Every structure is written in C-alpha cells, then in structure tokens.
Chain A
Amino acid sequence: MAALTPISRKPMSMVLPAVASAGGFVGMFVGAGQGNVLLGILAGAALMAALAWVYIAVLDNERVARWITILGMGAGGFLFAGLTGMIIGLLAGWFFAFYIFWLFEGRYRRKLLPYLTGRQVFWHYAFRVTCGAIFVFLITPILVVLPLSFNAQDFFTFTPEMLRLDPEGYSLKHYRDFFTNNEWQRSFKNSLIIAPIATIISVTLGTLAAIGLSQSHVPGRRAIMGILISPMIVPLIISATGMFFFYSDIGRFLEGTLGMNKNFVGYVKVVLAHAVLGIPFVIITVTATLVGFDQSLTRAAANMGAGPVRTFFKIQMPLILPGVISGGLFAFITSFDEVVVVLFVGSASQKTLPWQMFTGLREQISPTILAVATILVVLSIALLTTVELLRRRSERLRGLTPA
C-alpha cells in the first residue's frame, strides 16, 4: 500500500499540544526520579512545547535541531541521573527530534490513504500504540528476567547499583552457583537424559503413524487422530494422576517380579510418560508436512524397482525431514519443560530441571532460578530459530512460495 499521499506542513495549534503531552509524559518519569511528579509533568510539557516552537518558528533546520535535541537531552540526563540518565536522555532526544518534525511536516500521513479524515488517522496511530503496548506485555516478563539474573545481590529486584549501570551491581555468581551446585547439576543431567530419549521414541513412532494417517484410505481416521492428539488436550494434572496410579503398579511389577534396578525403572517410567506427551506435537507437524507431499514420487520410485524401505529412506524421508525435526524439537521442549507428570511419576532421583525450578519457586526461593531461566530463554531462542528456518526450507522444498 504505497499510497503517494501529498503531505503538507501542519499548524502550530496541532503540533504544540501533541508535543507538550508527550513531553509531559516523559517529564512525569523525570519528576518521579527527582521526587515531584506534578512539577515534572508541567516542566516537561512546557520545555518540549517551547523547544518545538523554537525549532519551527525560529530555527527551521531539521538536521541542526535534531543534533541539538539529542546532545542537549543526553547531557541533561547525565546531570540528573549519571550514565543511565545519559542513555535514556539520548534516546528521548532522538525521539523528540523525530516526533516534532514528523508532526510538523505532516509525515505521519505519508503512508496512509489520502482520503482519510483526521480522526481516522488518529485512530490508526492509537491502534498501533495499543498493539505496541500488548507486545510490550508479551515480551516484558522475559526481558526482565535476563538482566536480573546478573544481579550481584540475592534479590529479585533491580538494585540501585544495577540502575546506575555500575559494574559492581552485576556479577555471574548465580551462573556460577548453577554450574557448581550439585542439586542443579544433577537435575540438569537428568533432563538431558530423559528429554532426548523421550524425543526419539515419540519421533520414531509419531512419524510412522503420521505417514500411515496421511494415506488416502484409513478406516476411523478421525477417531485415531482424536486419540493420538488427546495427550495435548487432557489437562496435565489428569494425565499425571492416571499415570501416577498406573506406573506405580507397573514399577512394582518391574522391580518386584522382574527384579530390575529401582533407579532404572524410575527413568523408564518418566521417559515413557514424556514420550506420550510429545507425540501430539510430532503428529501435528509431520502430518502438516505430508499434506503437500507428492505421492507420485513414491510410485515413481517403486516403478524404478525400489522397495518400500528404500523408497522411504531415499525419497520420502529427505522431503519430510524438516517437519520431522521441528516435531522432534517440539517434543523435546515438551519433555524438557514438563513438571507436573514428572512430579507425580518420578522419584527424587529422577528430579529434572523444571522440577528443581518448581521446588525452588515454591520453597527456598533462590536467584539461581533466574540464571537457569536465562539459559532456558537462550535455548528457546535457538530452538525457535531452528524451527523457523526448517519451516522455510520445507516450504521451499514443497515448491510453495516462502511466507
């Protein structure tokens, strides 16, 4: 929608109030930092309105105005609140320089349809700001955890040193604790044992079943699909309750009658439980990949004398591999992130990382949790990137235009 809307300069009566209200908003925070919110609002509004008036009526040179604002506000911020203040001041200065001329030159209309009324334009931007606020809501909790994990104190809040960007306020001690503490290391190891095995089971069985489900004539397809997806839908607490009773019977049988090692049986129970929970994700992603699969390719392979196994590994598997891998990643993260079932089915020697975090959050709350959380966020960013790349590759392979 590259509408070439002609833009024109706007009157002062419109620019000044808009700039003043934004200035008042920022002034509120500065005022709060200095102990007087009301004064901050008034001063901010007056200062910004005056600045806008000077730029428009007297200076009329955008480039000079921009540098004056950025440097001036950066210096102001430094005087008020040190290094942090300077960074915030520079950003605010950049914003106001942009904002004043964006309004005055009428640039805000450039990308909109020419016939929109003023009110529609206002709603357009109000909507954008609302959406921005919701995105902030979505992402803030994750962003808050990251810096707090470097806290030098054992607090869950930002200390004054951290806000001043003082290196004294930051440390890696929580990470050190995670990597040296036996409890955390053991649970981390348990997670690294359980999750991959559970993933392998659910990916192998899930892929076979997804291939079966994607054939044209499957009796009772809907019912089978319903059963296979149900582990995702049934509340975890119910799955956990059911498995708790069932697996304790199985466990007694394996230990008592077959005389297996107690520890080993514990792992088997948790792995099987997690494998079931991961299956719906494999089924969903792999069937989605198979929707675009060209069945004539397998027929062509058969025609040229390849057996079903060879056809599968040489033809079908490479084409659906992206879907299989992303299903596997889903299954992995499901197991890696699972608390409820392992809490009920497992015993203390199968304590996984999420279990340790859960007890940490409920009982002895230690900031090491935040260090672990940060590591997990980094892990999930890596997984997300992989899945996204695989999705694009799969779409390219299937000849669809990349989204």
Chain B
Amino acid sequence: MTDATQSGPMLAADGTPLKKSLARSLRRRKLRALALISPLLLFVLLSFVIPIVSMLFRSVENGIVSQTIPLTVVELQNWDAEGGELPNEAVYAAFTKDMLAAIEAKQHTRLGSRLNYEKTGMSSMFRRSGRQIKKLDPEADAPFKDKLIEIHDGWGDVDTWRTIKTHAVPITNGYFLNAVDMRRTPEGAQAQPDDKKILIKLFGRTLMMSLIITGSCVLLAYPISYLLANLPMRISNLLMILVLLPFWTSLLVRTSAWKVMLQQQGVINETLVWLGLVADDARLVIINNQFGTIIAMTHILLPFMILPMYSVMQTIPPTYTRAAKSMGATNWTTFWRIYFPQSIPGIGAGSILVFILAIGYYITPEIVGGTKGVFISNRIAYHISSSLNWGLAAALGTILLVVVLVLYWAYDKIVGIDNVKLG
C-alpha cells in the first residue's frame, strides 16, 4: 500500500487479494463456530428431534394390515363394500392362507388389537378363531367361507370385512380422525357416536384450563412484579427469594404439598372447619377436580410469569409516570395509559411461556386432577401405557405439538428465544 503506483486489488501481507483473504478468514471462523456447535446439534437431532419426528410418522403409519394379511387385502380390492353382501370364496381362501402364515409368526393377535380400536370385539375374534384356523389345511379344507363363519360368526358379518378393507391402507388418516372424535368409514370420515366423543371435549378443557391458569397467573404476578420492580434493590432481592424458592423446589414436592393442603382431611379443610366457616360434614371438595388442578398449577407456574414480567417492568422509567401525574393525570389514568402499555411485553412473554408449559402438563393434573381435572397429556399417557393404542397417542401428541410449536414460534417472534432468562 505504500507503493502509490500499485494498481489492482488491495493485497494482504501474503500477497493474496485482501478481499479473498478476508473471505477466507470469515469462512474459517464460520466453520469453527459450526464445528463447536455441531456435536451438540447432532446429539439433539439424534436423541430428540428424530424420536419426535418418528413419533409423528407413527400417527399416520398403518402397514400392519397389509403386511399381516397381504393376499386378503388384494382380494378385497375386488369386493364391493357398499353392496351389503359378504365377500366371495376367494377372499376367504386368501384370508385363511394369510392367517395361517400370521399365526405361524404370532402376528394375528397384534392385527386383532389394531382392528379392535376401530371395531370393538375384533381382538377376541382374532384370538379365538386363531386357535381353530391353525388346524385348517390351505389345500384340503377348501372351501373356507362356511368353515370360517362356523368358527366365529363375526366372519359372516359384512361390517368385519368393511372394517378390514377400510383400514388396509398403508398410510391412514384414521388416527387423526379418531383424535378429533371422527372415524374412518367406507363412506369417508364420519363423526363418532356420541358416547365415544370425548377427545374434542378434552382438548377444549385443556385449552380452557390453560387459559384460566394463565389468566390467574397474570392477575397474581402483576402486583408482585410491580412491587419487586419498584422497591429498592436490597429489599426486592430479598423478596425475590420467595419467588425463586418455589421455582427451584422440585415439582413433585410442590405437587405433594398441594395434595396435603387440598385433601378432604387436608390443611385447608381442617382450618376452615376449625374456624367454623365450613361444617365438618360438608368439607370442601377441592382436590381431584378442575379446581384442584387450577390452583396447584397456578402456584407451580407463577414464577414463570413473575420473572419475565419483572425484567420488563424493571426497564420502565419511573419518570414517565411522574410526568403524567405532574400534568394532572389521576392515578388510574397514569397507570392505565402510561404504565400498563409499557408493561404489556412482559405480560405477553409471561403468558405465552405459562400457556405453553400449562398445555402440556402431565404430573400435576395426574395427581391432583382426579378424572375431571386431567389434560390431554394424561390421555396420551393412558394410550401409551394402558390401552396401547400408540397410533392414537401419536396423533394426539402431534396435534398438541403443533399447537405448542405455533406458540413457540410466536414467542420467538415477540420475545426472542435469546432473551429467555432463568433466575
């Protein structure tokens, strides 16, 4: 550069053009940053993202029917499900052959339980006829139609074959339809009978209760955060311990504390009876219902509302409210027109966080919610561990996940995930 006569691009010390050299160094820095991040990213992708994505696939995946009884599925293609007549001998022959293979591989009961989600009684039908079909010979014992109907009259029911045909597809929307109280039928999607409609109601209840919990958290957290933000640092740090201690205490400790407090013979009821506000034989029922869930979860999630609200309120300059007052605004006007609008980001951040956490809660509703106060998560857990209808559990989980991810995206837009603070 000292040479004024030099023309062309600016050169770095080693003679390469400066632009190129800078680009290379930038690229190297980017690579180094990525190399630092990549082990963790791979770890999270492998052990968290892939499991969840594979769970999503499970909610539509339905290979079991066509894998277990492939010949029958092919033969059923030619059968008119609308006709109201039983399938012909070819279907029964194919089915016997399939079943013999499936019994050999011990797969027929799995198919039975799969189809049992769609039509009650299928599971026992497969199990019972399995024992008899095993004795049949695929060549010598033809024709099979009457023999099968004799083994179990279910095979003489048109509905059985319609169910098999409807659910023979390898990718199904059946679980999602079940998740919104509908079912897959030969005539397309239809509403479930009224006595089976529980999931929409459960989704509605989950949303409703999460909203109530979020609302009561806002109501309780606002005064506290205001107080903490406006007290001298020394005092507010001390009071902050009262907020952080529940935050750090084990979730199960807090839940068991609420169980102890809310029981029929619990601390609250005993105190009320002692005070004479409630008769001994008319103790309040505040556990194992929605009230129990709401009060316990409000307590558990309150710190998640206070912390973001507090950090926003700390930044509101007190001079604004003083200026408003000096210009003649009343207390209420000052609060509502000046202070409150500035605190809205805190309310928004806290509300989304609390709502996201509330909507997927499992432990607390399970323990203090009884049957009336449970959430959709408890239903998912039930289908995973008790009814073993994993497809439906995955479909319910997918719907819940979509709701949460939309909220997460909104949270990122409004607050930014970088700004999440802990303690």
Q: Footprint of B on A, CB under 8 Å?
A: 28-29, 32-33, 37, 120, 123, 127-128, 130-131, 134-135, 137-142, 144-145, 148, 155-158, 205-206, 208-209, 211-213, 215-219, 222, 224-231, 233-247, 272-273, 275-276, 279, 281, 284-285, 287-288, 326, 330, 333, 336-337, 339-340, 344, 354, 357-358, 361-362, 369-370, 373, 376-377, 380-381, 383-384, 387-388, 391, 403
Let me know if B401 and A234 touch, CB within 8 A.
yes
User: Roughly how many angstroms separate A238 CA and B401 CA in the complex, as a whole number?
Assistant: 7
Let me know if A135 and B408 touch, CB within 8 A.
no
Identify 6 new A-B residue pairs, CB closer than 8 A, beyond the known A242-B54, A361-B252: A130-B223, A141-B246, A208-B39, A215-B33, A358-B252, A370-B260
Residues in A whose Cβ lies below 8 Å from that of B51 = 239, 242-243, 245-247
Among B102-110, B160-168, B172-180, B233-241, the stretch that binds chain A is B233-241
Among B142-150, B269-277, B341-349, the stretch that binds chain A is B269-277
Q: Which residue in chain B gives the minimum CB-CB distance to A283?
A: B40
The reply to whether the CB of B125 lies closer than 8 angstroms to some CB of chain A is no
Residues in A whose Cβ lies below 8 Å from that of B394 = 241
User: Roughly how many angstroms separate A237 CA and B362 CA in the complex, as a whole number?
Assistant: 7
Q: What would be 10 A-B contacts, judged by CB atoms less than 8 Å apart?
A: A32-B275, A158-B267, A213-B37, A227-B44, A235-B359, A237-B380, A241-B384, A245-B58, A276-B48, A357-B256
Residues in B whose Cβ lies below 8 Å from that of A240 = 381
- Shortest CB-to-CB span from A25 to chain B, Å, is 12
Quick one: which of A37, A148, A230 contacts B260, CB cutoff 8 A? A148
The reply to whether the CB of B250 lies closer than 8 angstroms to some CB of chain A is yes
Let me know if A384 and B244 touch, CB within 8 A.
yes
Closest 3 A-B residue pairs measured CB to CB? A235-B360, A212-B36, A246-B51
- Shortest CB-to-CB span from B40 to chain A, Å, is 4
Instruction: Tell me whether A377 and B48 are in contact in the complex, defined as CB-CB below 8 angstroms, given that A211-B36, A212-B35, A217-B30 are known contacts.
Output: no
Q: Footprint of A on B, CB under 8 Å?
A: 26, 29-30, 32-37, 39-41, 43-45, 47-55, 58, 220, 223-224, 227, 233, 237, 239, 241-246, 248-261, 263, 265-267, 270, 274-276, 299, 302-303, 331, 356, 359-363, 366-367, 377, 380-381, 384-385, 390, 393-394, 397, 400-401, 404-405, 408, 411-412, 417-418, 420-423
User: Roughly how many angstroms separate A157 CA and B272 CA in the complex, as a whole number?
Assistant: 13
Let me know if B397 and A241 touch, CB within 8 A.
yes
Let me know if A354 and B250 touch, CB within 8 A.
yes
Instruction: Tell me whether A362 and B253 are in contact in the complex, defined as CB-CB below 8 angstroms, given that A226-B417, A233-B404, A285-B422 are known contacts.
Output: no
Quick one: which of A148, A226, A273, A362 contacts B367, CB cutoff 8 A? A362
Residues in B whose Cβ lies below 8 Å from that of A209 = 36-37, 39-41
Provide the main secondary structure of the chain B interface: helix
Let me know if B404 and A234 touch, CB within 8 A.
yes
Residues in B whose Cβ lies below 8 Å from that of A339 = 251-252, 363
Residues in B whose Cβ lies below 8 Å from that of A206 = 40
Quick one: which of B223, B303, B418 contacts A225, CB cutoff 8 A? B418
Let me know if A208 and B36 touch, CB within 8 A.
yes
Let me know if B302 and A138 touch, CB within 8 A.
yes
Q: Which residue in chain A gives the minimum CB-CB distance to B368?
A: A361
Instruction: Tell me whether A32 and B276 are in contact in the complex, defined as CB-CB below 8 angstroms, given that A237-B377, A245-B390, A383-B248 are known contacts.
Output: yes
Residues in A whose Cβ lies below 8 Å from that of B418 = 225, 287
Let me know if B224 and A281 touch, CB within 8 A.
no
- Shortest CB-to-CB span from B333 to chain A, Å, is 14
User: Roughly how many angstroms separate A248 CA and B380 CA in the complex, as a whole number?
Assistant: 18
Q: Which residue in chain A gives the minimum CB-CB distance to B41?
A: A224
Let me know if A231 and B242 touch, CB within 8 A.
no
Residues in A whose Cβ lies below 8 Å from that of B377 = 235, 237
